[in-house]
Amino acid sequence: MSFTASFQNKEETKDFKEGLTIQDVLDDLELSSETVVAKQNGDIVVEDTEIQDGDEIKLIQIIYGG
């Protein structure tokens, strides 16, 4: 099984085993859920969402400022 992940203009296809979650991907990339929003196939999802075969996962950096 595989999914496509994109973050900061980088895109790659990754193989995975059943049960992989968005949080697992964030941990693998050393990213915090406090600074990144995840979209699965175009929909915003929470960290415990399981990834399915063929999913497109897009990680979007949150920008803070004032």
- The pTM assigned to this predicted structure is 0.89
The domain spans of the chain are 2-61
**Each residue's pLDDT tens digit, 16-47:** 999 999 999 999 999 999 999 999 999 999 99
Strand partners, 50: 21
Query: Rounded CA gap, 28 and 15, in Å?
Result: 13
Task: Name 27's Cβ contacts closer than 8 Å, sequence gap at least 6.
Answer: none
Q: CA 49, 52, 55: angle at the middle one, nearest 5?
A: 100
> What percent of the chain is modeled with pLDDT above 90?
92
Averaged confidence pLDDT in the chain: 94
Which CATH topology does 2-61 take?
Ubiquitin-like (UB roll) (3.10.20)
pLDDT > 70: what percent of the chain?
98
